[in-house]
Chain A
């Protein structure tokens, strides 16, 4: 066993985390486990089914249950190799079978140790440590010290998982059987003798479903047991520390070999310089910590004194209602009659209240019908209908503040050399469109880029292209103080009409 090859992360886990790691092991390595495992279990099940006299087929699941220690040995063999990066092929597993049967205490496990509630946890001692007799007993006692109850509960939990799986499989058959024959069979299996054919099919289904259950649960049980065992050994032998210490040793060895040459040169160079303090000086530490720790009594006194300052000892008077003491001495001998009349009273009061509640609910439902209907509608964006803002980024975007013919106004400004104003006007107009007519919720906190992102889902291809171009031109002139060339800008002015056109006019044009 080489600890460095281990495929799971070794750390000190709680036992339940270790059990979960077992599940993760099966999830992760199922390709290496299930082919061989399926072949073995189902062929064994088939052989037993064929060999069993037909009168006793109902006992096959008990036999399959009894043979679980055999399956555990095979599974543990697979896991122990996988754990240390030695994946096995199906052929390897089959050729290991005789060894697993003869050298792992199988006889005891199938007889007097069959009812051990921690058999999965104990198995690695037999199979991997190969201990027998007194050493095995001592070893097992040592490992059991802090893990036995968990191993037992693990077995109990897996037993319940088996119930879950087999009942679920039966229930699935019931659900998907349209003829109700299965239900009739299940009922009659308990109350009367069945004819031979029905019994045959009944026990066949039972065997198949039980085999499926074992097939599913046993790998998880064994993996969780093995993981629990490894966790206990990690705890006992500090494997986690060993791994880190080994890598620390390797690192330092590499460091010394590598550093020797450099150190020599540096030492020669530095030998002339005075030694500089490398670590934090004592004074720096004293800023944070008192020079010496006070004895416990003194510090308790100091704390007490501080706690008596006004800031820490404020008293408040709170007034609240408390129930008064009631004397309940009234013993009525007609207690029964009383309780009956109380019942009637209570019942009629409840009835009245319920009717009132129904009426009130109906009235409320009528009054709030609009809100209720709105709630029933599929999820809507609860975009609050805020009035579109008038001023964004200090720019007035009310429609009144803009000239009627924006394209012409912009062009005039641009041609008279006021390029910045021209693009500002165009951008303002675009914002006005977006907020007023396309109902895009622009806020003062949005940047130009944000507005583009917001508008993208709402605008058709040409319009978003125009908006992108205008935004870029505006950013260039506003932030970079670069004037874009005329041939890029004129088309933008011309296309304003397309962008600014309302839906109706667009449709009319098309």
Chain B
């Protein structure tokens, strides 16, 4: 079993979901971005309400209090678990089984920021993340939530030029996926590397003059291309 950060959740429909929890580095950067944004909003509030004197101070204090405590809750519940900082780093909050975060869980995980913040600047939160395989801080553990990477599927789809070809042997699913990736990522690799890679499939391309275009043809066939 090779090491990876992901874990698998099986849905009742029998679908295995691969989830990729986000570690301290992206979460710290997302938090910093959110902090910047919140600070900017707080500053604006204070300036705008300053003309009301002490009353304005009071109102801005109340608003800043609400902002500090419910900013993450609002975004987690109304924006698919993504605060602006998380959105920039393509993270989102979900329950550990990848279902959307529930209101009570969101409130719990954000109220417990107090505990994670101890002794200062999320010291306990960091310790918890380092000791946990899913990088959950204490609030996450209490609310049964996890911060996940949002994977961008079909990220590198390119049109395949080669003529579609039917392979002569049955290919397993990972092999099919590798061949499709081979064709789709062809433009990021040099020709000699492509040929070298294609030759690694051994008997599949033994009789072919041009192994690269043969495999690209198979990839085209696998992605649904048929001879016109």
Known A8-B2, A167-B123, A235-B188; contact A248-B52, beta-carbon cutoff 8 A: no
Q: Digitize B145-162: 1 where CB-to-A-CB distance is under 8 Å, 0 elsewhere.
A: 000010100000000000
Does chain A have a CB within 8 A of B73?
A: no
A1 to chain B, nearest CB (A): 16
B169 to chain A, nearest CB (A): 6
B5 to chain A, nearest CB (A): 5
* Nearest residue, chain A, Cβ from B132: A27
Partner of B3, one of A24, A158, A256, A339: A24
A27 to B92, CA, bound (A): 23
Does chain B have a CB within 8 A of A66?
A: no
Measured between beta carbons, the chain B residues less than 8 angstroms from A191 are none
A162 to chain B, nearest CB (A): 11
Give the contact stretch, choosing among A98-106, A238-246, A497-505: A238-246
Partner of A20, one of B23, B118, B122, B131: B23
* Nearest residue, chain A, Cβ from B152: A14
Does chain B have a CB within 8 A of A255?
A: yes
Is the Cβ of A252 less than 8 Å from the Cβ of B202? Answer: yes
User: What is the number of residues of chain A that contact chain B, defined by CB distance less than 8 Å?
Assistant: 61
A94 to chain B, nearest CB (A): 26
* Nearest residue, chain B, Cβ from A285: B226
Is the Cβ of A157 less than 8 Å from the Cβ of B5? Answer: no
A121 to chain B, nearest CB (A): 13
Give the contact stretch, choosing among A39-47, A168-176, A440-448: A168-176
* Nearest residue, chain B, Cβ from A163: B121
Does chain B have a CB within 8 A of A220?
A: yes
A165 to B29, CA, bound (A): 16
Does chain A have a CB within 8 A of B135?
A: yes
Question: Quick one: which of A220-258 are within 8 Å of B by CB?
Answer: 220, 224, 235-238, 240-242, 244-246, 248-250, 252-253, 255-256
Q: Digitize A294-332: 1 where CB-to-B-CB distance is under 8 Å, 0 elsewhere.
A: 000000000000000000000000000000000000000
Does chain B have a CB within 8 A of A347?
A: yes
Question: Quick one: which of A48-74 are within 8 Å of B by CB?
Answer: none
Is the Cβ of B200 less than 8 Å from the Cβ of A157? Answer: no
Is the Cβ of B119 less than 8 Å from the Cβ of A9? Answer: no
* Nearest residue, chain A, Cβ from B194: A238
Measured between beta carbons, the chain B residues less than 8 angstroms from A245 are 178, 182, 197-198, 200-201
* Nearest residue, chain A, Cβ from B204: A252
Measured between beta carbons, the chain A residues less than 8 angstroms from B151 are 14
Does chain B have a CB within 8 A of A153?
A: yes
B29 to chain A, nearest CB (A): 6
Known A9-B4, A241-B182, A249-B201; contact A23-B130, beta-carbon cutoff 8 A: yes
Does chain A have a CB within 8 A of B126?
A: yes
* Nearest residue, chain A, Cβ from B215: A245
Measured between beta carbons, the chain B residues less than 8 angstroms from A249 are 200-204
Is the Cβ of A172 less than 8 Å from the Cβ of B119? Answer: yes
* Nearest residue, chain B, Cβ from A6: B2
Measured between beta carbons, the chain A residues less than 8 angstroms from B124 are 168
Is the Cβ of B202 less than 8 Å from the Cβ of A253? Answer: yes
Measured between beta carbons, the chain A residues less than 8 angstroms from B188 are 235-236, 238
Is the Cβ of B3 less than 8 Å from the Cβ of A157? Answer: no
Does chain B have a CB within 8 A of A130?
A: no
Is the Cβ of A252 less than 8 Å from the Cβ of B203? Answer: yes
Is the Cβ of A160 less than 8 Å from the Cβ of B201? Answer: no
Is the Cβ of A20 less than 8 Å from the Cβ of B21? Answer: yes
Does chain A have a CB within 8 A of B17?
A: no
A104 to chain B, nearest CB (A): 25
A215 to B4, CA, bound (A): 24
Measured between beta carbons, the chain A residues less than 8 angstroms from B25 are 16, 19-20, 23, 153-154, 157-158, 224
Known A8-B2, A167-B121, A238-B197; contact A23-B24, beta-carbon cutoff 8 A: yes
Known A220-B130, A244-B178; contact A253-B121, beta-carbon cutoff 8 A: no
A158 to B32, CA, bound (A): 13
A495 to B202, CA, bound (A): 77
Measured between beta carbons, the chain B residues less than 8 angstroms from A168 are 119-121, 123-124, 126
B21 to chain A, nearest CB (A): 7
Does chain B have a CB within 8 A of A25?
A: yes
A121 to B130, CA, bound (A): 21
Question: Quick one: which of B75-111 are within 8 Å of A by CB?
Answer: 89-90
A248 to chain B, nearest CB (A): 5
A311 to B181, CA, bound (A): 42
Is the Cβ of A343 less than 8 Å from the Cβ of B55? Answer: yes
Is the Cβ of B22 less than 8 Å from the Cβ of A16? Answer: yes
Is the Cβ of A241 less than 8 Å from the Cβ of B29? Answer: no
Known A8-B2, A154-B25; contact A23-B203, beta-carbon cutoff 8 A: no
Partner of B23, one of A23, A28, A174, A246: A23
B151 to chain A, nearest CB (A): 8
What are 22 residue pairs bridging A and B, where the CB atoms are less than 8 Å apart in the complex?
Answer: A6-B2, A7-B3, A8-B2, A16-B25, A23-B23, A24-B4, A25-B3, A27-B133, A153-B25, A153-B29, A157-B25, A157-B28, A160-B28, A164-B121, A167-B121, A171-B123, A172-B123, A220-B130, A248-B204, A279-B166, A343-B55, A346-B55
List 15 other contacts, CB 8 Å, given A9-B2, A175-B119, A279-B166: A9-B3, A16-B22, A23-B130, A28-B3, A154-B25, A157-B25, A158-B25, A168-B126, A169-B123, A238-B185, A240-B178, A240-B181, A248-B200, A252-B203, A256-B203
A residues engaging B (CB < 8 A)? 6-12, 14, 16-17, 19-21, 23-25, 27-28, 153-154, 156-158, 160-161, 163-165, 167-169, 171-172, 174-175, 220, 224, 235-238, 240-242, 244-246, 248-250, 252-253, 255-256, 279, 285, 292, 339, 343, 346-347
Q: Which 9 A-B pairs have the closest CB atoms?
A: A168-B123, A249-B202, A171-B119, A20-B23, A244-B178, A9-B4, A9-B2, A16-B26, A245-B200
